[in-house]
Amino acid sequence: MTVIAALPDHNRTNDPLWNQLFFSYNRIITPLRYARWVTDVETGGGEFFVRADLTDGTELIIVSEHSLPADCADVNGWIAIRRDVENPDRHTVLYDSTPNGPQRHHHNSLIPLMARIDGLDVPRRAPRLMVSSTHIAPYGPSQNQSAGIEGAATAIARFSEWSLRLTGHEGYRRVWQRPEPSTYPLALFENAGHITTVRVTRSDD
């Protein structure tokens, strides 16, 4: 069973700039692909944005204050727009966490953005997922944590942020991660004998 949308089908996948942007914005693109939407990076006219096909004649556009910067780390907030593919003037701003936007208190956090996107009325919705972790201390008991049941994009973004917190703030190193296309993410982290496993599962598994 395919759980993640295919890569875009065009010749730009061999372009170094496209590959750089696709990798830089992987934390945005991967949750949208797990929501089963083909997701691309558009590079026309020197401006960059992420675009996902919602399969109903509309598309999701994600930018920042203007164009996306070349490095995702430089984003200071997200704007998500749903627009008609045939008539782009017909569009709705779904979310704006840039410095002057109504969701500015979320800054560049992905989870509130993806939660708003998961709330869209779209066909062929992906299954709802759950992110959980198990922590095993040396010579001690294990501890379990769960974020509850969420939409697919939100859960994958949460998996990414939990993983980043472990490696970026808590001193863990990632020792293994399940290959992305096979099924839902699973990763193992280690720090001085402490083992933490973070996983995504279907809510009905």
Looking at residue 1, what is its pLDDT? Answer: 58
User: CB atoms < 10 A from the CB of 2, how many?
Assistant: 8
**Per-residue confidence in pLDDT tens, the chain, 205 aa:** 578 999 998 888 888 999 999 999 999 999 999 999 999 999 878 889 999 999 999 999 999 998 899 999 999 999 999 999 999 999 999 999 999 999 999 999 999 999 999 999 998 789 999 999 999 999 877 899 999 999 999 999 999 999 999 999 999 999 999 987 778 999 999 999 999 999 999 987 5
CA 82 to chain CA centroid, Å, is: 17
Q: CB under 8 Å, gap of 24 or more: what pairs does 66-71 form?
A: 68/21, 68/25, 70/20, 70/21, 70/24, 71/24
Task: Say if strands 142-150 and 49-53 run parallel, antiparallel, or are unpaired.
Answer: unpaired
> Using an 8 Å Cβ cutoff, are 5 and 54 in contact?
no
